[in-house]
């Protein structure tokens, strides 16, 4: 089932499947801003990544002596959420761990995903509750895809309201593992701006660590802002499919990332992993501000 949030600026469609944003229409020109999940390029629009961002090394994690297998970006994006509340310009969904998730992931949990329209901004909120009697380890992240032309659109990076001079991006390994290599690419920016192209994504996603920017803005061929994504996280990803010249790109705030090639696979030792003690809750999220 799908639900609509609407105000004078935006019309937002969100599905219960994956609690995923499927459409954002800008009312002033009736323009669809989100990628529409054409499977010829990528069959998703804005999945929620939980309890894993990216890949485990060899798709496996080890906890308390037991090995678990899970695919890229976790299972939440492929599950049915329950509608908890819908009121005005706000909506809240919930997902609880069950027998199917316990086969892939050792912890019980409650995941709540909320959306709220604030004029031309969509605020996204996440809450993860640890319902176990032991410490829980997890990652969570966003993967919104925005329609654009890679040949003429650009990205602008800002930190505390100022243009960023350069960014360093960690690179996915070329071995097909979907895990991080030791390679780092460095990009000099022109007043915070980076041109996009197929070549930019030739090595897969760019993974930007260490809070190098807190706002990333997609800019069109006329120099007009399309969307600004807040990244209140230690790292974020920039991605468009390798070699497809896809008409979209993603700006992805993450609390966590893929493993490095050769990682020990121990769940409690993952870089950028999040820890929750028994009974505790984590809150996070991000915002998309549309021009």
Query: How many Cβ atoms are within 10 Å of 93's Cβ, its own excluded?
Result: 24
Counting the structural domains of the chain, the total is 1
Q: pLDDT for 209-253, tens place per residue?
A: 999 999 999 999 999 999 999 999 999 999 999 999 999 999 999
The residue among 180, 158, 155, 161 whose CA lies nearest residue 169 is: 180
- What is the extent of the structural domain holding 39? 2-290
The residue among 9, 44, 6 whose CA lies nearest residue 290 is: 9
Q: Yes or no: say if 236 and 253 are a contact pair by the CB < 8 Å rule.
A: yes
pLDDT at 260: 97
Sole residue written with tokens 């999220």: 285
**In 62-141, which residue ranges form alpha helices assigned H by DSSP?**
99-102
Residues facing residue 288 across a β-bridge: 122, 229
Low-confidence residues in the chain, pLDDT < 70: none
Q: pLDDT for 61-98, tens place per residue?
A: 999 999 999 999 999 999 999 999 999 999 999 999 99
Burial of 37 (0-12, 13-18, 19+ CB in 10 A): middle
Residue 207 CA: distances (Å) to CA of 155, 159, 201, 210: 15, 17, 11, 10
pLDDT at 117: 98
pLDDT at 25: 98
Radius of gyration in angstroms for the set of CA atoms belonging to the chain, rounded to a whole number: 18
Residue 37 CA: distances (Å) to CA of 78, 225, 270, 273: 14, 23, 31, 29
pLDDT at 24: 98
Identify the CATH number of the domain in which residue 196 sits. 2.70.98.10
The CA distance from 184 to 32, in Å, is 34
pLDDT at 233: 96
pLDDT at 145: 98
How many residues comprise the chain?
Answer: 291
pLDDT at 287: 98
Longest CA–CA span in the chain (Å) reads 56
CA dihedral 130, 133, 137, 139 (to 10 degrees): -10
The residue among 207, 240, 244, 258 whose CA lies nearest residue 59 is: 258
pLDDT at 9: 98
pLDDT at 82: 98
Angle at 117 between CA 111 and CA 119, to 5 degrees: 160
Q: Which residues contact 8 (CB under 8 A, 6 or more apart)?
A: 27, 119
């Amino acid at each position: 089932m799908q639900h609509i949030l609407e105000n004078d600026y935006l019309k937002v469609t969100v599905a219960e499947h994956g609690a995923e944003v499927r459409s954002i229409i800008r009312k002033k020109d009736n323009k669809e801003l989100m990628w529409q999940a054409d499977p010829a390029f990528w069959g998703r629009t804005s999945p929620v990544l939980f309890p894993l961002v990216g890949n485990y090394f060899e798709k496996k994690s080890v906890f308390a002596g037991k090995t678990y297998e899970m695919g890229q970006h976790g299972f939440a994006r492929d599950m049915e959420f329950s509608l908890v509340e819908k009121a005005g310009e706000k909506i809240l969904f919930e997902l609880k761990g069950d027998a199917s998730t316990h086969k892939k992931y050792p912890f019980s949990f409650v995941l709540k995903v909320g959306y709220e329209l604030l004029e031309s901004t969509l605020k996204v909120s996440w809450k993860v509750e640890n319902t176990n009697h032991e410490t829980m380890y997890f990652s969570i992240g966003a993967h919104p895809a925005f329609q654009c032309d890679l040949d003429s659109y650009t990205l602008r990076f800002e930190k505390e309201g100022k243009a960023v001079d350069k960014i360093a991006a960690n690179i996915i390994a070329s071995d097909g593992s979907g895990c991080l290599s030791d390679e780092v690419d460095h990009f000099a920016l022109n007043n915070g701006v980076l041109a996009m192209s197929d070549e930019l994504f030739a090595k897969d996603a760019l993974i930007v660590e260490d809070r190098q920017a807190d706002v990333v803005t997609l800019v069109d061929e006329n120099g007009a802002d399309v969307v600004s994504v807040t990244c209140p996280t230690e790292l974020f990803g920039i991605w468009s499919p390798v070699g497809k010249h896809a008409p979209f790109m993603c700006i992805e705030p993450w609390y966590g990332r893929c493993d490095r090639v050769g990682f020990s696979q121990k769940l409690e030792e993952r870089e950028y992993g999040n820890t929750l003690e028994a009974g505790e809750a984590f809150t996070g999220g991000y915002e998309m501000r549309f021009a």
